[in-house]
């Protein structure tokens, strides 16, 4: 289950409450996102440590764009000293207004660096894109890039969210064909608000199938109908993924417990 590091003390309290509820579902770990360029560095660190102090496994996301080797090394050393055992290694997106790319270009370079400097200290997760990354030159190129991250030492992957189970299954088959055998856990985005979801999806290249988009759009401001329809769609998606052999589910909780909990309960997990 994934959180973002809250910006305000009110957000911190809300996340504590959500976490308490979600912890009852006994997820394998909670991960905490990282603002590319280091904008959330201390907040991510603080949230990760708080989760760990509560007795749960916490996994920081680390993005390497616009970073130096020294700053990444220092951050990983702090996590190692704190006893963190899992990280999500990403390139990240260049923050607007920032032009310096830094010392890493792609996530595979971060994975190589992690393995060279920290050996097997961390279980390393990387990102995967069943509908392909929006900047990839081609789907084939994106698969080669993913394979490069796995060969650099990634233990498993979490996907960008999607609403079309066939895209995931086709991607898994494609990965197996080229010899990628690490577990690839589907990322699940519960549907709470349409405008926010549409904005995210346009930015990250995750397709909202037309029938879902039209239906959500048609509900207008009727939040109850959006949530109810969204729960049906996402529960059916998760059910199909698990039945089809997905090795787990990674929930983008957006720091809210309600939708994830309901989906979990409906799945009978
Ligand atoms: C599970 C998950 C969690 C995320 N968490 C965060 C977060 O906490 N913070 C954040 O800022 N963002 C996060 N993101 C978003 C992510 O940072 C963006 O999608 C980013 O654009 C790509 O990151 P990546 O690690 O997949 O990059 P990469 O694997 O480096 O790929 C980026 C692009 O470059 C291409 N590419 C890769 N290697 C090469 C190469 N050697 N030569 C040419 N092209 C190459 C790929 O095909 C792809 O198009 C997350 C995404 C996912 C799926």
pLDDT digits (tens, 9 = 90+) for 124-158: 999 999 999 999 999 999 999 999 999 999 999 99
Q: State the chain's mean pLDDT as an integer.
A: 96
- Quote the pLDDT of residue 37: 77
How confident is the model over 82-92, as a mean pLDDT? 97
Residue 100, pLDDT > 90, answer no
Cα-to-centroid distance, 91 and ligand 1 (Å) = 5
- Selecting among 2, 109, 125, 131, the annotated active-site residue is 2
Ligand 1 centre to CA of 253 (Å) is: 20
Protein residue whose Cα sits closest to atom 15 of ligand 1: 92
Residue 8, pLDDT score: 96
Task: Quickly state the pLDDT bin for 39 (edges 50, 70, 90).
Answer: confident
Token pair of 232 as six digits = 């049906």
Judge whether residue 97 has pLDDT over 80: no
Say what the pLDDT of residue 94 is: 80
* Residue from 4, 106, 189 whose mutation best tests the ligand 1 pocket (most atoms within 8 A of CB): 106
Instruction: Answer whether residue 257 shows pLDDT above 80.
Output: yes
The closest-lying atom of ligand 1 relative to the alpha carbon of residue 106 is: 30
- Atom 2 of ligand 1 has which residue's CA nearest to it? 127
Strands 123-128 and 156-161, by their bridges, are: parallel
pLDDT tops 90 at residue 101: no
CA of 58 to the centre of ligand 1 (A): 21
Q: Which residues does 251 contact at the CB level (< 8 Å), separation at least 6?
A: 1, 2, 27, 188, 190, 260, 263
32 CA closest ligand 1 atom index = 8
Q: Whose CA is nearest to atom 5 of ligand 1?
A: 33
User: pTM, whole model, 2 decimals?
Assistant: 0.97
Give the pLDDT score at 38.
79
To test the ligand 1 pocket, which listed residue (34, 41, 90, 95) has its Cβ within 8 A of the most ligand atoms?
90
Higher pLDDT, residue 131 or 100: 131
Q: What percent of the chain has pLDDT over 70?
A: 99
pLDDT score, position 178: 98
Calculate mean pLDDT across residues 63-88: 96
To the query of whether residue 70 is one of the catalytic residues in this protein, the response is no
CA 266 to ligand 1 center in whole angstroms: 32
Q: What is the pLDDT of residue 36?
A: 79
pLDDT digit string, tens, across residues 193-230: 999 999 999 999 999 999 999 999 999 999 999 999 99
Across the range 107-112, mean pLDDT stands at 98
CA of 227 to the centre of ligand 1 (A): 29
pLDDT of residue 247: 98
For atom 37 of ligand 1, which residue has the closest CA? Answer: 145
264 has a pLDDT exceeding 90: yes
């Amino acid at each position: 289950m994934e959180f973002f590091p809250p910006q305000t003390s009110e957000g911190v309290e809300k996340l504590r409450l959500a976490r308490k509820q979600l912890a009852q579902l006994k997820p394998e770990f909670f991960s905490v996102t990282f603002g590319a360029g280091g904008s959330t560095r201390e907040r991510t660190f603080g949230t990760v440590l708080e989760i760990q102090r509560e007795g749960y496994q916490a996994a920081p996301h680390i993005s390497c764009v616009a970073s130096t080797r020294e700053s990444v090394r220092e951050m990983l050393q702090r996590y190692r000293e704190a006893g963190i055992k899992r990280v999500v290694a990403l390139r990240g997106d260049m923050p607007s207004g920032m032009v310096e790319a830094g010392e890493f270009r792609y996530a595979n370079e971060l994975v190589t660096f992690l393995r060279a400097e920290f050996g097997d200290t961390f279980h390393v997760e990387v990102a995967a894109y069943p509908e392909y990354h929006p900047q990839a030159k081609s789907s084939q190129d994106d698969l080669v890039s993913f394979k490069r991250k796995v060969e650099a030492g990634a233990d498993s992957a979490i996907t960008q969210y999607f609403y079309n189970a066939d895209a995931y299954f086709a991607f898994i088959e494609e990965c197996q064909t080229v010899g990628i055998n690490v577990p690839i856990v589907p990322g699940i985005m519960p549907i709470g608000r349409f405008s926010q979801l549409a904005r995210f999806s346009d930015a990250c290249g995750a397709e909202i199938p037309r029938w879902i988009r039209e239906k959500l759009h048609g509900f207008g401001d009727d939040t109850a109908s959006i949530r109810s329809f969204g729960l049906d769609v996402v529960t059916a998606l998760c059910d199909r993924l698990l039945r089809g052999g997905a090795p787990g589910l990674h929930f983008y909780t957006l720091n809210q417990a309600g939708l994830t909990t309901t989906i979990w309960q409906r799945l009978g997990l």
